[in-house]
Amino acid sequence: MSSKTIVQDDSENFKILVATDLHLGFEEKNLVRADDTFNTFEEVLQLAVKNKVDFILLAGDLFHVNQPSIASLERCISLLRTYCLGDKPINMEFVCDQAEVFKHCNHPTVNFEDQNLNVSIPVFSIHGNHDDPCGYREMSCMDLLSSMGLINYFGKQTNLQELKINPILLKKGSNKIAIYGLSHIRDERLERLFKDKKVFMNRPLEDVDDWFNIFVCHQNRVSRPGTKYLSEKCIPSHIMLTIWGHEHESLIDPVRGDSSSGYICQPGNSNKSSTVATSMCKGEAGTKYVGLLTISGKRFKMEPLELLTVRPMHFETVKLSECDEDVSNSKKTQEFVRSQIEDILLKLSLKRSGHPKQPKLPLIRLRVEYTNETQHFNGIQFGQEFQDRVANSNDMILLRMEKKSIQKKAKCIDDQVLSNIMDNEEMDNIEHIVDQYFRTANDENQLELLSVNGMAKAVDLVVNKSCPDAINKVVSHQMKKMKNYVIKQEGLNENNISDHIISYQSSRTQKSKDEANDVREVLSSQQHTSRSRNDSDNESNISFAKSDDEEISNDSSTSTGVQNVRGKRGRGSRGSRATTRARGRARGQTTLNF
C-alpha cells in the first residue's frame, strides 16, 4: 500500500470526497462574512458532482455550533437536497448490519437504500467537538439531518464506559472498504478508555484481510499544555488510512504514522482542506483544499482539490524594532502600518481565484509589536480607514508590546530517563536511583566536577533524613577538595587543567566507600555545629533525625526544595510550625525537586 502509487482509472475503484471542519454558520451574524461558509460548502458539493464520487466523507464539525440557527439549518438542507439528491445511480453495496452501525439514529437505515428517498451522492459524517450532542436525549443537528435522510450519521457512542466501533462495510465490484468512525469524545476520557483497553474495533467476520480499512476521528493529535490527545499508537495495525479531523495543522497528503497504523491524512483547519478560516492566525492564511480519495484494492491516492471560493486572508507580524523607517511616535508608526496594509492589499488582489462567489474583501491580521508606548495607537480607529476594503477592519491591527527574548537554561536533568528509572525502582533506594540515572543518562547530563557516589549519598540524606541542605554542603565540600587537588599539581596551566579534573574524578569514583564516608563526615560535622547553634539561639533549624518513629510537624520555612510525598506523588507540607529542636522523619517519604 502506498499513497504514491498511481491508481488506474477503473469503474470499480472507489472515489471519495474527503473534507472536515466545514463550520457552517460561522460568523453568520456578520453581514460581510455571513455567506462564506455556505458558498464554500456549495463548492465542495459541486466538486463531488463534477468528479462523480461514490460518496462524501466528513470528519466532523459540519456546523460551527451544535444547535445552529434555523437559517443555517435551512441553507444546509437546501444545499444537500440540491446536490446530493437525484437520479444518479449508486454503484456500491452496503453489506453490514445497518441497525447496528446506525443504532443511535431514529431511522437506522443508510439513506441510499431508503425507498422514500432518491439519493445520488451519499454523505457519511461523524460529529466533531463543535456539533456534538447535548441536552435532553443527547441530540444535535447531525441527528436532525440524519432523520431527514440527508446524511448518514455514524460513529456516535452512547456507552462511554466501553467503546465498540462497528465499521461501515461497502463493496464496489471487487473492491471492499471498511470505515470505522469515532465521533468526538473528550480526550481525557478517550485516553483513559484506551489505557484501560476498553476500545474495540470489530473487524468483518468474512474475508477479514480483503478490506481496505479507514479510520475517521475528530480528536487532538498532539500534546498541548493542559490537554490530552489521541496517540497514533492507539490506532490498530489493521487500519490502512486514518482521516483525522479537528487538528489545525494541515497534512492532507497522507504520511506514515509513528506506529504501524498505516497512513494518516489530516485535512486540518488551516492551509489545506478546512473550508473556512475560523481564527485569525498564521496557520489559517493560505490556499484551502478538499481531498479526492481513490481506492483500488489495497492501494490508494489522495488528490488535493483547491477551493476557489475561500475569502483571501493574510497574516503577518511586524516588529517595529526591526523596522528601517522612523517609527519613533504613533503618527509615524501609523504611516508605516498604512503602507504595509496597502502592500498586502495589492498582493492579495493578484492572488484572487476569479471565482464569481469568492468574496471581494479580504481578511487581514497585522500584528504590530512595539517597544515604546509612544509608538502605540488605536487599532480600531485606524481600521476604519479600510472598512470598505477589508472584511475585518475592526480587528485588522493587533498591537502588543514586544517581548524580550530570554534564553532558557538547559535542563540538567533528563526527565525521561529519570521517569523510566522511577517506574522500576522503589523510592527507598535513593542512592541506587541516582546511580542508575547517571549510568543511563547521555553525556550532556553527566557530572563533570562532582562524584556520583557523593551526590547519591547527599540526595539520600535530603530524601530520607530530612536534611535539605545536604546537597549544597556536599557540592561545596567536593568543589573545595577538587580545587585543592588541582592547584597542587605540577606544571598546571589552562591547557591541562581539564585533564587533572578528570584524573581526580576518576580516582574518587574508584573509592566509592571512601567517598560515602567522606560525605557522612562532612555532614556530621555540619550537623554538630548546627545543633550547637540551636541550643544557644533556641531556634529550630533542620538536623538529622533522633528517631525514625518520632512524629513531628513540618516547618515549611526550612524545607526549601523538598516536598513531603506519599509513594511517588508529591504533596505540599501540612501542619503548624514545629516547636522541637531535633526532627524525626516526617510521615511518608520525601522527594527532591530537581
Segment 238-281, tens digit of pLDDT: 999 999 888 756 677 888 876 666 898 887 643 333 445 555 45
Residue that finishes a domain, picked among 307, 331, 362: 307
Residue 535 within a domain = no
Residue-wise pLDDT tens digits, 380-419: 999 999 999 999 999 999 999 998 765 555 555 555 555 5
Q: In which band, very low, low, confident or very high, does the pLDDT at 2 lie, cut at 50, 70 and 90?
A: very low
Cell of 372: 515604546
Which residues are registered as beta bridge partners of 134?
139
Per the model's pLDDT, the better-predicted residue between 339 and 548 turns out to be 339
Round to whole Å and give the CA distance between 479 and 496: 18
- Structural domain that includes position 27: 14-307
Arithmetic mean of pLDDT, 67-88: 96
Round to whole Å and give the CA distance between 56 and 9: 19
Residue-wise pLDDT tens digits, 471-513: 787 778 778 887 888 788 777 777 777 777 777 776 766 565 5
* pLDDT of 183: 93
536 three-state secondary structure: helix
Residue that finishes a domain, picked among 454, 474, 507: 507
Per the model's pLDDT, the better-predicted residue between 201 and 427 turns out to be 201
Per the model's pLDDT, the better-predicted residue between 409 and 42 turns out to be 42
Cell 452501525 belongs to residue = 101
Q: Determine how many CB atoms are found less than 10 A away from the CB of residue 446.
A: 10
Q: Which of 93-97, 156-160, 226-230, 432-436 has the highest mean pLDDT?
A: 93-97
Whether residue 236 sits in one domain with residue 99: yes
**Number of domains comprising the chain:** 3
Per the model's pLDDT, the better-predicted residue between 501 and 374 turns out to be 374
Q: Quickly list H helices, 170-323.
A: 187-195
Can 64 be counted among the known catalytic residues?
A: no
Round to whole Å and give the CA distance between 395 and 384: 10
Whether residue 462 sits in one domain with residue 329: no
Residue-wise pLDDT tens digits, 504-546: 776 766 565 566 667 667 666 655 555 555 555 544 443 333 4
Whether residue 370 sits in one domain with residue 232: no
Cell of 296: 483500488
Residue 581 within a domain = no
Residue 216 within a domain = yes
Residue that finishes a domain, picked among 455, 478, 507: 507
Burial category of 563 from C-beta neighbours within 10 Å (exposed 0-12, middle 13-18, buried 19 and up): middle
Residue 26 within a domain = yes
Whether residue 331 sits in one domain with residue 283: no
What rounded mean pLDDT belongs to the chain?
79
* pLDDT of 404: 73
Output the pTM of the full model: 0.66
- The single residue of 127, 130, 218, 248 carrying the catalytic annotation is 130
Whether residue 248 sits in one domain with residue 102: yes
pLDDT at 237 exceeding the cut of 70: yes
Point out the least confidently predicted range of 26-40, 199-213, 467-481, 536-550: 536-550
Q: Please give the DSSP secondary-structure letter assigned to residue 222.
A: S
* pLDDT of 408: 56
Whether residue 263 sits in one domain with residue 244: yes
Cell of 291: 481531498
* pLDDT of 266: 81
Which residues are registered as beta bridge partners of 316?
366
Residue 534 within a domain = no
pLDDT at 59 exceeding the cut of 70: yes
